[in-house]
Amino acid sequence: MRRTNLIRRLESLEKEYPARERKDSLGLARNLLWRVVFAYYLGDLKWDERWEEEEEEQLDEHSGAFLRALKYPSDLAWREAMNDMQSLVSHFQDAYNRLFAKVGLDFANTPRTVLFDAFVRMVDDLPDGWLNWLRSRLQNWCSDVEIAAGSNVPRQLSGDNFLEIA
């Protein structure tokens, strides 16, 4: 009897592991998408062709724009905020409000499905350089996250799970 239970438990863990890995990949994919959307629409992130070869400069500009979008004055302030969940949530809520106001939506009173559709349009409207950057990262870092043909967001994202911090 014990052996049967052990085998069942192992089989259960084998099934659970890929699901957990997919969830982690989806979280990373969502994080990448939001970082670029916030940085581009709220932090004045621009695409520069020379960045295709200079990855470090590209990431520095991206990080700076992301911090500007969330109204953090420095990387140190961002790292300190990671210990204060209430402050972090407040910064994200403010960024969501400002971002969705740009497309005429009230973040607090708009259904999540409508917000999600607006988010997808914002991703689709990113400059080609940033879309290519995102596709490359999603393919390399989140290979088990499926992106449908003609889309730039993972198929698993929906109005229920697309927000980074809500």
In order along its 166 residues, the chain shows pLDDT tens digits of 454 544 444 444 444 434 434 448 888 999 999 999 999 999 988 876 665 555 555 566 667 788 888 888 777 777 787 778 888 888 899 999 999 999 999 999 999 999 999 999 999 999 988 888 888 888 888 877 887 777 888 888 889 999 888 7
Nearest Cα to Cα of residue 144 among 158, 154, 129: 154
Residues 6 or more apart in contact with residue 83 via CB below 8 angstroms: none
* pLDDT at residue 21, as a whole number: 41
Going 119 to 120 to 121 to 125, the CA torsion angle's sign is positive
Find, among 103, 105, 97, 98, the residue nearest to 123 by Cα: 103
Quick one: pLDDT at residue 120? Answer: 94
pLDDT at residue 140 in the model: 83
**Rounded to whole angstroms, how far apart are CA atoms 90 and 136?**
31
Whole-number pLDDT of residue 55: 58
- Separation in Å, CA 165 to CA 30, 31, 109, 160: 11, 10, 17, 12
d(CA 158, CA 155): 8
Secondary structure element (H or E) that encloses residue 88, with its range = helix 85-101
* Strand-pair partners of 147: 154
Classify burial at 47, counting beta carbons within 10 Å of its beta carbon; exposed 0-12, middle 13-18, buried 19 or more: middle
d(CA 140, CA 134): 10
Under DSSP, the state recorded for 55 is: H
- The pLDDT, as a whole number, for residue 20 is 39
Residue 78 has a pLDDT of: 76
